[in-house]
Structure 1
Amino acid sequence: MENNIQNQLEIIEKANIWIKTSLDGNKAKDAYRNMVDCRRKLNKKKFALGGNPAAAMYGESQVGKSYLISSLLSEEGKPFSITDENNIVHNFIEAINPPGGGSESTSLVSRFSVNYKAINERYPIKAVLLSPADIVLVLCDSFYNDINLKASQNIHFLSSDEINAEVYQLKDRLKDCQTQQNVFGEDDVLDIQDYFEEYFQKADKVIDSKFFDEISLLITKARPDQWKDIFSLLWNKNEIFTTLFATLISEYEKLNFANVVYLPLAAVLYKFGTLLDVKRLREIYTEPDRIEPNYTANTKAFLPGKNQEIEFAKSYLCALSAELVFGQSETLLQSKPFLKETDLLDFPGARSRMEKPLDAIENNTIPDLLLRGKVAYLFNKYSDAEKINILIFCAKHEQTAQRIMPRLLNNWINKVVGESPAKREQFIDKSKISPLFVIGTFFNVNLQYDPLRDGRDNSSLNYRWLQRFTTTMEKEYFEKQTYSWFDNWTNSQPYFQNIFLLRDFEKSETPSNLFKGFNAKKREEEEIFPENFPDFRLKLRQSFIDYDFVKCHFANPVESWDEAASINKDGTKLIINKLTIAGNNINNARREKILSELNEISQIILAELVKHFQSNDKDKELQKAKATAGDIQHKLDVAFSADGIKLYGQLMKELMLNESDVLELYRKKIDDIEHRDVINMDIYSTYRMQVPVIDGDTVELYFDRLCIHYEKTTEEQKQQFRVELESKKIDLDELINGNSGLIKNNAQQLADALLEYWYVYITLTDKHTIQQILAQDGSTALQEINDMFQKLFKKLGIAKRIAEKIRRYVDGHNKTDLPYEIVADISAEILNKCINTIGFEYFDESEISDLRQANEKNSLGLILDQHINSTEKSVADLFTSIENHTVIIQSQPGEMKSLPNYRNYLSWYNRLKVGFVSVCDIPNYDVAANEQLGRIIDECKTVKL
């Protein structure tokens, strides 16, 4: 498969050379961009297939990931360990892993692999580094997600025009330069664009600018020291962000922009200051506190490309690294066979974003911004690159503070498993088990007896299941009212059923009081029964089995309970058994899915090339388009003959949309998009009415104003009020944002919906003139026109044009303050102009030139110049002509061209044929070029994936 991907990439390079020499104008631009997009997709698939498949541990900080990973990577009687070059064994948790202490402990992904073998025994740890493009996105992720841009005072944000002006200056400065480097390339810039469009709705000024189109073509001409001048535009030229970026690139250059470096084990030992500790990031700006007994600021590093050993600062290496790779003993395979085919990844814990105003950012704030941006970006990067085959998601029993988790999980499922029940079923038929594992950690907390709340009936025991499963898991982690996968998993099994329970042996003795013996003898010896409720756990077990959520989402509730709640069973055995099934099958399922996607890419490449190839079929297609247009023109001539011309205005009225139609559609569409289940909306409205939300509000600012309004003056009163709001499930962040109306990528969704609406709208039976002229007596004319416009809209990118124009009014706006009338008016104007001119207003010179040449070569009868001469008339003469149009039709038909309505009809009539011909993708180049393209097409057809 990998060899054939390479063959496809070589074909694309040949095609791009052909495009540059044989096409021009928008046709060349669009064809080249389509080829580049296919190249990027192929390279992503190539990257996804490289290296070992991986199972990733993911969740918020402090949710029990360390306990699970220790269980999955330890042998009976031995702790989870790493062996150094001197065969000294180091307990990973005690000697390497940094302490969490309730906050972020690391910014790096750790990979554990029995297949990894060090290339140099003195440097057993492999550090996989971020790319320069990754560094750009880490900083952008922080800028757009950790900075509250609305609350930033006295800050001028660059407009799209200002960004364009800077870009054109850069373009002019670099236009005569030769290629300076190949580390940061065209595809990297376009990958950044994709990330912006998916994750940064606040960046509409950047997205709407020419930044990515222009910079992608000139980036290789820029030296690394010039990158800061280019990419600072992405974070509004903020000096602190720019200085950090320049520093990181300068340090990275010392490593020769290597993809990987190799490190001694000392670089990750806690006593020397482990790279895994987030404190290393803070040391970029502040002196280390040197808590570690033998702290060293630098580490040795081996650069394989140069075969060179160097000293490098841990602080910068921590910032520049994406993951550290640790080799594991093959003896693990006896008890953990899933590791044979699958590496284990431990991701940094996800945290909520900072929401700081830009004017409050200082040097001492930057490490935390860098940390959050990097942690969020790493998960997105690995997900987008399909480097996570199995996702082991750890979820606690209590409320989450991480609000973006539902979207991240949904994105991963869509990309890896499938975006529909049918596609997920197709994947799981081959994988035998879901690649998403949900681990309910801290299960020992649910097994504890609470004398104040636990009674003998099931209903009094169910509060713990309500909290863990219904409130926390369904509503907060998965947000099932927005993302339907949890209750719509596959066609044959609608309910997702790959949930596991995990308890901690150590905490099961103290404080949970479940079993005795483990802390002293590493083995549980006796169950602890509550004195006044000795059959408590039997009752609790039954309440679990009978709980509705459990019956739906656990395939075998009895097994799930017994494997996690019995003596000397913490739940890991069941997890390992299922992971083994996943490890044995998911890689094959993944490769088949990738193969299917590669075939789709191959078809896109072929279709793009064939589009520009001159063949007999193309000539036939042109003649067919000409004939179809001629048939419709005949129907129009018959319908509008004599006095019938009055119907033309009504026909156009029925073909075009008015603003009120678009307004109603958009309101419904946004309601459909925004279908999150937000509780207490009535009380939310009351609060918003009593204490209106103002621009730039944060949770704390709004809470302070609530306190003033409701006379909460003392700290004790404020604290009680906060507790009261929380107990009533009042989410101030939700309240401020107006039902979380920040609608993701609204502009494109609305534009797409508008075109889909129009395709149906013009076929409705209440469009009497359309039906009478174009659909009577079984005529296919209406369907032909509909099909032509669908192709024309796609060719001209009408949906994209609409989205670009309305994005500034839509994306990032709350539902409550979205200017619907403006958005509807802009959208209707663009669509109606395209309908009224049959797209002619959006053709560029190269397309019109192609049409002229095709017209001459094929005798198509196109009228491309709409200069219909009419004699000069006074206004009085014009009105006289209009009043006497019946007489003119009968006695002087040539004078009809003097009537405005007829002139408009004639223009539309002529352009109708142009529209039918233009969607045929008319080729225009010499015979030799066409033969060369034919050879590329033949080569493309021979590639078998």
Structure 2
Amino acid sequence: MRNYIQNQLDIVEDSLTWISTSLDGEKQKQSYRKLVNFRRKLNRKKFAVESNPAVAIYGESQVGKSYLVNNLLSSPEKAFGIKDESGNHFNFLEEINPFGGGSESTSLVSRFSIKAKPINLKYPIQANLLSPADIILVLCDSYYNDIKADIGTVLGTEEVNSAIKNLKNELRNINYHQSFLNEDDILDIQEYFKEHFSNKASNILTSNFFEEVSFFIAKTRPNEWKNIFSYLWNHNPIFTMLFRDLISEYDRMNFTPSVYLPIEAVLRKHGTLLDVERIKEIYSSTDKKIEVDYREDTPAIWMEGILEKNMIIKKSFLCALSSELIFPQDKSLLETKPFLRETDLLDFPGARGRLTLGEADIKNENVWELLLRGKVAYLFNKYSEAEKINVFMLCAKHDQPGARSIPEMLNSWIKKFIGDTPEKRERFIENSKISPLFIVGTFFNINLEYNNIHDSSQDLTSLNYRWQQRFEKTLSVQILNSETYGWFNNWTKTHQNFNNIYLLRDFNYSKNIFNDYQKLKRETTEIKPAGFPDFRERLKESFLNYPFVKKHFPDPNQSWDEAATVNKDGTDLIIKNLTIASENINEARKARIQVELQEILNALNTELFKYYHSNDKDEQLQKAKSKAGSIQLLLDTAFSADGIKNFGRLIKDFMINEGLVLELFKKKIDDIEHRDVVNLDIYSTYRMQVPVLPGDTKGTYFERLCAHYERNTEEEKNNFEQELALKNIDLDELLVGNINRIKNSAQQLSEELLEYWFVYIALHEKKYIQTILGGDNSSAFHDLIEMYQQLFEKIKLSKIIAERIRSHVDGVFKTEIPFEIIADISSEILNNAILSVGLEYFDSSQLSDLVQANEKSKLGLNFSQSDDSTHTSIEELFERVENWTDIIQQNPSEMKFMPHYQNYLTWYNKLKIGFVSVCDIPNYNVQANNELAKIIDKAKALNADQ
């Protein structure tokens, strides 16, 4: 698959070269952007395929992730850890992992892999670093999610455009080139902005920032980047300073993607890189440290080609710049942990809620916390979007979570990796054999403990309350937000309810449940409450019979026995199913990627064929010219000699008058307001901001609206519901609405007008149309209408009309709509399009293409407004009018100087141009066409190899 992706990338690069040399104007710009986007998608797929499949362990801080990681990476003979070059073993939990204590402990992803191979045994730890684009997005993620921007500091769109234009001009003649931050990176940043900051960064997204910067970024030096990207955080000086310092430190390492470190860099006694304290030290003193042998710096090595480079790096900056640390694991683990053969294990930093600082509150002393929050959130998004997470293990406690971002992040991963519909998820899981999403209920020991106050053999309510609290109130509602995100109760077609949930208890905290673990490191007997000796039997019974458990656990009895009996903490079942997933997930992932690669290749072929001149297109062109010629013959016959006077009458048949449009629009607005085609301009906005998901109900959609608009308390939700009611927003109407219901009024009016016109001109009372174009079973009228339909679609006439009348219609009460004005505007645009055969709405690039194609291919198109531009005086004109009959009989060539005949010739010539233009005639030379044919053949061969 790697070779297949690389072959596709080679074809894209060849195509980009061809486009740059063979196209120009708007066509070149649009095609270039499309192919660059193909390249970006392919590089993501390549990166995903080249990366080791990974199991990600994710959840809030202090939810038991470390216990799970320890169980997954320990063997009966040896505790979870890492060896140095001398074979010395370091216990990860006791000597490396930072202390938690209820707060954030790390800002890095820890990767554990049996496939890791250090380049030097003295430097066994590999640190993968953020890219420059990643650093930009880390800061932006914090700026837009942790800070309440001061409205006075938000830069205007025109201000951004002007500044970027000046930068572009300054760099016009610069020959410098760097590849550390490139065009694709800028477009990746733009995509991240669209997905995550669409509302908060509208000033940037509506500017030319990304479009322009992508073209000149390669010419800029790293020390200049702060002057460019500070616009993304409205020139906040603290953020700009931090960005400058991070890039400066990274530049010292020549932007290497990874470095290798000695074991001392991660030992707790020296100040482990995993500790968030390192980030604090960027702008604070290191004098007051609790570590017994704190070391501020660490040596690092990396490879540049065949050369080994080394330097001393401050751990504070290295911690900030690193995305993950890779800890090699001994292959002996495979005996008890076979899943490691196919997958790495990723331990993500704990998810946390976001801050709400004002810009004035940002100081050197607290910027570390902003960096931390932005980085932790961004890392998950990055790994998810780069398809580096193949199995997702969500650790969830029994009590209320603090991070509100988990439901959305998890839903995003499910959509991208498994599928956004039950059908797609079903297909993926058919290949993976088991769901790649594991939900692990940690601290299950809490639910197993006897409570002498609430638990009674006479009243079993407290037993059921445990499951209600853990599974329904906490997991379903608060952690997964299943009311908003419907996947949990609409998983696949075969299994409606998600059912890959596990239970995990901690042996160390089960001393009130089973005896002797602290003393023997194994449990012996159950501790039975004196006043309720069959407590756990009754507790198990309540678990097995609880409705949620029945729906979401495939085998509730097995789940209980694996986590709630002597020496069973739930790990064995997790490992068993994780092994099944790891053995199959790669094939499932490849199958999905293969489909996506085929979609990219199909889109690439479609784009290339637009510009390829094939025999089929020659035939299409000849048919179009033939149709135009047949119509021109009919017109010449009808308007020969004295018949030319009827040309104006024919054109009048084609024109639509303002009065008809006025009546049509009034009727349409009545339909919009009073019938089942409802004007939902505001609904369009809601659907854009909070899309309706498959399976959404009124309740689930309302909850997601509340989450989006930060209506979190019951009081806020009630007030919001009242606001919607006052605005006459009907959620039922929105959820079941057809496509017309989410179009604005201007769109509906413009589309209605064009539909009406095609019916209107076919009416039998259109005497001159019927006589001249519709007689003797001629297809001329049908051909003409078909051409106009294609032409209006090509020039997007409906959109042109809608844009012109939008300000008069959308969001305006019916009684305030200026119907005469919008009817006048709309009829004028439509009539102009008919009379000019669309040419008036062609852009310069389209016209240029037609002119050049006409010259090169000898299409016989006439672009002049008349056959003779010689000036005719008023006296000469009147003389010709008086002698009209004589001119027709004796000197018919003089007719072309008559105004109505000139109008006829102009429309006559434009008809042929119109027929040809809808054929998408390619416009390049034979050599370029042959080069394109070779590229297309490569793509066809690649398609055949699938």
Shorter-chain TM-score above 0.5: yes
Q: Please give the residue correspondences for 1:446-845 in structure 2 after superposition, counting only pairs within 5 Å.
A: 446-455=447-456, 456=458, 459-509=461-511, 513-622=512-621, 649=658, 664-670=679-685, 673=690, 771=759, 773=761, 793=796, 843-845=842-844
**Counterpart of 1:442?**
443
Matched-pair contact (CA < 8 Å) for 1:107–1:278: yes
Name the CA shift for 1:643/1:321 in 2 (closer, same or farther; >3 Å).
Answer: closer
**Counterpart of 2:154?**
157
Name the CA shift for 1:729/1:565 in 2 (closer, same or farther; >3 Å).
Answer: farther
Matched-pair contact (CA < 8 Å) for 1:111–1:344: yes
Q: Secondary structure at the match of 1:218?
A: helix
1: CA distance, partners of 2:648 / 2:54: 67
- What do the CA deviations read for 1:363-419 (whole angstroms, capped 9, x no partner)? 112100000111111111111110111111111222222222111111111111112
Name the CA shift for 1:6/1:101 in 2 (closer, same or farther; >3 Å).
Answer: same
Matched-pair contact (CA < 8 Å) for 1:640–1:647: no
2: CA distance, partners of 1:166 / 1:425: 50
Q: Secondary structure at the match of 2:510?
A: helix
For the pair shown, the structure with the greater C-alpha radius of gyration is: 2
2: CA distance, partners of 1:117 / 1:162: 50
Name the CA shift for 1:265/1:783 in 2 (closer, same or farther; >3 Å).
Answer: farther
Matched-pair contact (CA < 8 Å) for 2:447–2:466: yes
- Partner amino acid for 2:557? V
For residue 464 of structure 1, report the CA deviation from its aligned partner. 2.2
1: CA distance, partners of 2:208 / 2:290: 49
**Counterpart of 2:83?**
83
For residue 684 of structure 1, report the CA deviation from its aligned partner. 15
Q: Secondary structure at the match of 1:527?
A: coil
Name the CA shift for 1:196/1:868 in 2 (closer, same or farther; >3 Å).
Answer: farther
Matched-pair contact (CA < 8 Å) for 1:762–1:770: no
Matched-pair contact (CA < 8 Å) for 1:684–1:735: no
For residue 191 of structure 1, report the CA deviation from its aligned partner. 0.9
**Counterpart of 1:21?**
21
**Counterpart of 1:340?**
341
2: CA distance, partners of 1:483 / 1:939: 43
Q: Alignment identity in percent?
A: 47
Matched-pair contact (CA < 8 Å) for 2:866–2:905: no
Name the CA shift for 1:64/1:935 in 2 (closer, same or farther; >3 Å).
Answer: same
CA RMSD of aligned residues (A): 4.7
Q: Secondary structure at the match of 1:925?
A: coil
Matched-pair contact (CA < 8 Å) for 2:679–2:743: no
Name the CA shift for 1:282/1:309 in 2 (closer, same or farther; >3 Å).
Answer: same
**Counterpart of 2:327?**
326
Q: Secondary structure at the match of 1:312?
A: strand
Name the CA shift for 1:897/1:551 in 2 (closer, same or farther; >3 Å).
Answer: farther
- Partner amino acid for 2:60? E
Q: Secondary structure at the match of 1:924?
A: coil
For residue 162 of structure 1, report the CA deviation from its aligned partner. 0.5
For residue 504 of structure 1, report the CA deviation from its aligned partner. 1.1
2:366 is equivalent to residue 370 of structure 1:
no
2:250 to 249, 252, 258: 252
1: CA distance, partners of 2:440 / 2:177: 49
For residue 538 of structure 1, report the CA deviation from its aligned partner. 2.0
- What do the CA deviations read for 1:118-143 (whole angstroms, capped 9, x no partner)? 22110000010111111111111111
- What do the CA deviations read for 1:349-371 (whole angstroms, capped 9, x no partner)? 11111121112111112100000
For residue 907 of structure 1, report the CA deviation from its aligned partner. 11
1:171 to 160, 168, 171: 168
**Counterpart of 1:399?**
400
- Partner amino acid for 2:510? S
Q: Secondary structure at the match of 2:679?
A: helix
2: CA distance, partners of 1:832 / 1:435: 57
2:289 is equivalent to residue 290 of structure 1:
yes
- Partner amino acid for 2:242? L
**Counterpart of 1:56?**
56
My pick for the range that moved more, 564-573 or 855-864, is 855-864
Instruction: Name the TM-score, length of structure 1 as normaliser.
Output: 0.80
Name the CA shift for 1:797/1:641 in 2 (closer, same or farther; >3 Å).
Answer: closer
1:185 to 172, 182, 187: 182
Name the CA shift for 1:105/1:789 in 2 (closer, same or farther; >3 Å).
Answer: farther
2: CA distance, partners of 1:507 / 1:866: 94
**Counterpart of 2:848?**
849
**Counterpart of 1:413?**
414
Matched-pair contact (CA < 8 Å) for 1:303–1:309: yes
Matched-pair contact (CA < 8 Å) for 1:424–1:490: yes
**Counterpart of 1:234?**
232
2:261 is equivalent to residue 271 of structure 1:
no
For residue 502 of structure 1, report the CA deviation from its aligned partner. 1.0
- What do the CA deviations read for 1:745-766 (whole angstroms, capped 9, x no partner)? x9xx999986699999899899
My pick for the range that moved more, 759-768 or 136-145, is 759-768
1: CA distance, partners of 2:12 / 2:414: 30
Name the CA shift for 1:586/1:792 in 2 (closer, same or farther; >3 Å).
Answer: farther
2: CA distance, partners of 1:684 / 1:389: 27
For residue 33 of structure 1, report the CA deviation from its aligned partner. 0.8
1:197 to 191, 194, 200: 194
- Unaligned residue ranges in structure 2 (runs of 5+): 636-645, 765-773, 875-895
- Unaligned residue ranges in structure 1 (runs of 5+): 689-696, 700-724, 807-818, 874-893
Q: Secondary structure at the match of 1:537?
A: helix
1: CA distance, partners of 2:476 / 2:564: 23
**Counterpart of 1:693?**
none
For residue 529 of structure 1, report the CA deviation from its aligned partner. 2.0
2:62 is equivalent to residue 47 of structure 1:
no
For residue 465 of structure 1, report the CA deviation from its aligned partner. 1.9
Matched-pair contact (CA < 8 Å) for 1:792–1:919: no
1: CA distance, partners of 2:285 / 2:738: 51
**Counterpart of 1:123?**
123
Q: Secondary structure at the match of 2:680?
A: helix
Matched-pair contact (CA < 8 Å) for 1:545–1:551: yes
For residue 54 of structure 1, report the CA deviation from its aligned partner. 0.5
Matched-pair contact (CA < 8 Å) for 2:27–2:845: yes
Matched-pair contact (CA < 8 Å) for 2:515–2:527: yes
2: CA distance, partners of 1:501 / 1:297: 41
- What do the CA deviations read for 1:717-762 (whole angstroms, capped 9, x no partner)? xxxxxxxx98x797899999999x9x9xx9xx99998669999989
Name the CA shift for 1:23/1:761 in 2 (closer, same or farther; >3 Å).
Answer: same
Matched-pair contact (CA < 8 Å) for 1:183–1:257: yes
2: CA distance, partners of 1:139 / 1:663: 43
Name the CA shift for 1:58/1:854 in 2 (closer, same or farther; >3 Å).
Answer: same
2: CA distance, partners of 1:737 / 1:405: 28
**Counterpart of 2:883?**
none
2: CA distance, partners of 1:489 / 1:831: 48
- Partner amino acid for 1:431? S
Name the CA shift for 1:270/1:477 in 2 (closer, same or farther; >3 Å).
Answer: same
- Partner amino acid for 2:212? E
For residue 620 of structure 1, report the CA deviation from its aligned partner. 3.2
Q: How many residue pairs were aligned?
A: 854
Q: Secondary structure at the match of 1:515?
A: coil
- What do the CA deviations read for 1:820-871 (whole angstroms, capped 9, x no partner)? 559x999x999999978767676431111113344675758687969999x9
Q: Please give the residue correspondences for 1:106-117 in structure 2 after superposition, counting only pairs within 5 Å.
A: 106-117=106-117
For residue 920 of structure 1, report the CA deviation from its aligned partner. 3.8
- Partner amino acid for 1:20? S
Matched-pair contact (CA < 8 Å) for 1:57–1:346: yes
Name the CA shift for 1:752/1:910 in 2 (closer, same or farther; >3 Å).
Answer: farther
